[in-house]
Each structure stands twice: as C-alpha cells, then as structure tokens.
Structure 1
Amino acid sequence: MLQNLDSGPVPSPEINAASAAQKAHVLVLGGGGFIGRAVVADLLGRGCRVTGLVRNTPLPDGAVSVRGDIRDFDWRQLETDLPDAIVHLARIPGRRRLSRWWAGRQGKRASKRLLRWLESLERLPLTVYVSGTLVYGDRGTLPTDESAPLNPIAFQRDYVKAELPFLETLGRLPVSVVRPPWVIGPGSWFQQFYVQAARNGGKLTQFGEGQNLMSLIQVQDCAAQISAVALGGEAVRGRIFNTCAVPALTHEAFVRLSAEVLGCGITKVSESELRRKYGQTVYEALTFSMDVRSREPLIGDFPNRFPTAEAAIRASL
C-alpha cells in the first residue's frame, strides 16, 4: 500500500486573520464547486484578494473569475500577478468506471503539468491540494489521522492518481495536502439525498445495519480550515491535514438525527440490495467506516462554528 510522506506534527501556526490575509492573493482552482465557493467566500471574508479558475459557474461577488480547464490552462498567464497561495479543488469528473479511470489519468497529467510550471518560478506560491479521506479506505473503528497508510477505495481508486504527484513533492516544493471527510452543507450530497427527500414527503435511507462510522464537517468549517492552511506559510509546507470538526457517529445515528431535524421517517436498504442496484463502487462509498482525526494542532485547536452533528445538520438546511 502507498504510504504518506509525513513526518509528525508541527506547532500550530499563529494565524491572525487580519494580518495573515492582508493583501494576500489566493488562486482557487475549482472555485465554482460546492467546497470551492465556500473557500472563496471564507478567503474574501478574511480580506484576501481572490482569483478563481472556473469552467462555467461564476464566483461570489468580490472574486475575479478566470475561465479555463486545468487540463490545458496556460499557467504562464498568472505570472504577471502571481498568487501567494493556490488552493486546488478542481476535479475532472467521471460518471462510470471507464470514464473515472480516464479522469484519473487526465488528473495525474494535469497535476504534473501544474507542478512543472511551479518549479519554473523564482517565487513559488504555497499550493494546497484538497483530496478526501476516502483515500484511507475502510478503517472500521480505528482512529484515522494523517499517518494512516493510503488504501483508496470506491471513486478514489481512480481519483487518487491526481493526488500522487503532489505527495511525491512533499518536502521538496511548497505543497500541502488537505483531506476532508463527509462535507455537509447546502448543495451537497446531504441536500440531494436527505433534505429533498424530506421535502418531497419521502423517508431518509439507512444503508444496512448502519454501524459504520461517519465523520462530518460542515462546509463553512471545512472551508475555514482549508483557508487557514493556505495562509499558513512555511509552517504548513509539506504537511497533510485531515479537516475535522464533528466527532464520528454511526450512520444509523446520523440518519436518525437527520430524520428528527427534518421531521420525516426512515427506510432501510440492505447492503446486498445497495450493491446489486448501484454496484461495488457506490456500495463502498456509502458504507465505508472511518473515525477521522488530526494530529495537527492547527486542526485540533480550530474554532469550528458547528462542532456537533445536530449543529452541522441544521446549518445545512
């Protein structure tokens, strides 16, 4: 299995939002996405100057939109106004197995091309690559921090290819990696599968016995932690960060709490039915178990706004 190239925790960087972000220029790749828009909004709130590379979706007011695709964008266009940091949230999507395999290869090629451009610069911006904790695989009840070996499952079997070039540069280039767990918020999977189901008079779905652990973070807290890493300078260089906020709870407890907040019932789907209907990849993505932790003080000491599952759910309606 692949191993993380990490060497233990460092003291928490002292990040003063007003001073660290003052006039800082941050480029957000994929700024029009679910997490990307929240990161752009958080950075603007800190006083940063924000540019976002987007394909179609416009950015929040106050940010500068640049249209392009990470597969062929001419990074040299940025050299006249070089960012101080880059947050990489852009993804090449793939809906089916073959297209995901191809997306992974394209993502890896795009990552290498971006890194080659960075290496050509005299002043290298800190680049924060945002991945996901699904790269650790199904961990059962084991606490999973940044030292866990990589064992990607489900969609990450293909998408992790785009992350590998960044892992290979840790310690050599100013690169950091951030891995969020389940990110909950308006417009997310939670909106689609839970809120809409409740509003349409349906029931929330529990998969199997529901004893697998889920680690949650509300999108605003996730964005704030990503921003803090992007503004962390030398103290975060070469580090891996699992974003954390809500203590892990079982899938059963999450569905039950969501049903209470939304005022609806619950229906159960067996794991065998889930696998038969949607295939192995979706089955793994919906039933894997992980108790996500972080050994980084920057994350452990972070002042999250929504530190409980109920608060995160209510903030996501």
Structure 2
Amino acid sequence: MRILMLGGSGFVGRAVVDDALSRGWDVTLLHRGTRRPPEGATVLVGDRTAPDGLAALAEGSWDLVVDTWSARPSAVRDAARLLADRVGRYVYVSSCSIYADPVDHRAAEDGVLVEGSPDDGEVPYPRAKRGGELAVTGAFGEDRSLLLRAGLILGPGEDVGRLTWWLNRIARGGPVLAPGPRDLTLQYVDARDLARWALDAAVAGRCGPYNLASRQGHCTMGELLDACVAATGSDAELRWTDPARIAAAGIEPWTDLPIWAPPGELHEYLFELETARAFAHGLHCRPVAETVADTWRWLDGLGGASPQRPDRPVLGLDPKVEAAVLEG
C-alpha cells in the first residue's frame, strides 16, 4: 500500500505513520519540517497555510491519504481537490465535537451536526472539523471518504496535555486532588488503536462516518489514576474529592482537571458516545493500564517535558489551588 500522510510527525499522525511503516507500506508524509520525521518514510516539506504549501504534492499517486487537520477547512478542501484524481481513498480524522448540542447519542453517526463549510477560514473547532468532512466528501464523494469522528484521544505522543499532566502531577507525589466519584466512567481511544483501525478500515474499503472511541465505561477515573500511580512508581496519595467541593473552589472540569467531567450534562456529552458501528467493524481498544504505562515510558524518556500544541491552551490545576482545597 502507498499512503500519503498530511502531517505525520505529531501525535495521531505519527501513530498512523508508525503503524503503516510496521506493515511494510510505502509511506510519504507532507509536513512543515518543524519536528523530526519518522525514519523509513519519504518526507516532503510543505506548509498548508502558505499559498504554495501543497507544491510538493503536484505529482505522485497513492492508495490512500490520511489527514488530521483541525484548523481552517479550506486547507482540507485544497488538499482534497488536488489529490482527488490521484488517491484512492481519503481518511479524515474528524471529531465527535461536530455533533450539535444537546447531543442525542442514541442517534450514533446519524446525529444532528453543527454547521460547517469547506470554504471556511478560521472557525471554532467543531465547525472546523465539520467543514473538513464536507471538504473531503465534496472532492472524493461519499464512497471514497472515511470520516473518523474520534472521542478523547490519549496515548504516547500526546501533545494536548491531558494524560501527560496527570502523569507528571502524580509523579511529583504527595497528596493529589483526585476528582470524584472514583467510579466515574471514562471513554477514549488510544491513538495507536485509532491508527490501526483507520488503516484496516481503509484497506477493507470502509466509507462514511464512524464514531471512534472505546465502549462506554472502558475504565473509571479511579482506574486511570491508579494506573498513573503504578506506572510512575510514585508515593502519591489520591485524595478523592466530591465534585461539589471542586466546583465551589472554582476549579474547571476538563481544563483545570484534564479528562475529568463531573456527573451530568458535560460528562454525558464527552463520555457516552455510541461506538457500536466501529466495534462491529473491528475496533479493539487496549486496557487503560497499557495506555498509561506506555505514555509514561514515552514521557519519562523526554524528561517529563511533553510537547504542547501551540493552538491549544495549557491545561492543569494550579498547585496553590490544589493545596488550598486539600487543606480546607
């Protein structure tokens, strides 16, 4: 198989490239040259935000292209139009954020979507991803487009600061504010499981949208943080704290306490995605302990300094706020 990866040196894109290379595929990636590319891939340099950013793709043909772009949809539109006659299938990593609020998860992939346009410039993330989907299907048609509406993505290489923040915090040890309840369920997908399924699905000729995450209740908040303690070998003491107390302290779920959302509307939005279609077509999600341990091994090898995407805010709880709540 000949695969073109748009990006490929960062989190999800790197997982796709690594999986493709492990299969012995011929891998070409287009990226800006700001990160070290994977060994074994043909590297083309181009910046999709520049007027001539796709010049390196003027020639060549591939069996499939994988795209994780999450900024302006017009960049996806331009790439899809350029490649439509020279690529067999377009795999676009979208997001479950494109479902309009309030989300009816029972509708699965047929749920109501936010508005979007392939011609949009800079727009909010949900609209950008929806515009990207429309750009792909507009150029490749429904039958040659595979749309991965991913939930929360974790694993080695993460550059958003969710699981990596928890690992670094727990590695420091001492009392840790653990947001309860302990048995609160979580749903996510390891980037490597996403990559494996995406390539398998492309080879099988899958098309259309797929919600991509673990089954609901794949693990709990307690299991996630216990795995962080075990992986880091820390002496951290998890102090399980009631959501009402956390809210009273002005601590924001999802941002101050990454991954966590208290029981209620936000939790339902984030962690009750219907993923039966992907599982019916072969999705497999590894245990949380494996994802956590592998992420710590990667992060520890970087000295704890995980990469941070410049287009995303820095996440995590102020140590002084945490101490005040634990002492209160």
Q: Note whether the superposition's TM-score is higher than 0.5.
A: yes
Greater RCO (CA < 8 Å, at least 6 residues apart): 1
Q: Over residues 158-205 of structure 1, what are the superposed CA-to-partner deviations in whole Å (9 max), with x where a residue is unaligned?
A: 533333323555745622211222222123234421111112225655
Give the counterpart letter for 1:71 in structure 2. Answer: T
| Match status 1:28 vs 2:5 | yes
- Match for residue 203 of structure 2 among 220, 231, 235: 231
Structure 1 gaps, min length 5: 1-23, 93-106
- 1:217-258 superposed Cα distances (whole Å, 9 cap, x missing partner): 2222111012223333xx323x11222345435764455444
* Paired position in structure 1 for 2:191: 219
Map 1:1-317 to 2 at 5 A.
24-55=1-32, 56-72=34-50, 73=52, 75=54, 77-92=56-71, 107-119=72-84, 121=85, 123-136=86-99, 142=105, 145-151=108-114, 156-160=125-129, 161-168=131-138, 171-172=141-142, 174-188=144-158, 189-201=161-173, 206-207=178-179, 213-232=185-204, 235-237=205-207, 239-245=208-214, 247-249=216-218, 252-262=221-231, 263=234, 264-266=236-238, 268=241, 270-271=246-247, 273-275=250-252, 288-296=269-277, 299-302=279-282, 304=284, 306=286, 308-317=287-296
C-alpha distance in 2 between matches for 1:195 and 1:66: 34
Unaligned runs of 5+ in 2: 116-122, 297-328
Amino acid in structure 1 at the alignment position of 2:128: Y
Q: Secondary structure at the match of 1:198?
A: helix
State TM-score, norm by structure 2: 0.67
Moved over 6 A (4+): 138-141, 276-279, 282-286
Letter in 2 for 1:302: G
SS in 2 for 1:304: coil
CA RMSD of aligned residues (A): 3.8
Asked if the contact 1:248/1:292 (under 8 Å) is kept, the reply is: no
Percent identity over the alignment is 20
Amino acid in the other structure paired with 2:277: E
CA-CA distance at 1:71 after TM superposition: 2.7
1:236 alignment partner AA: R
Equivalences, count: 270
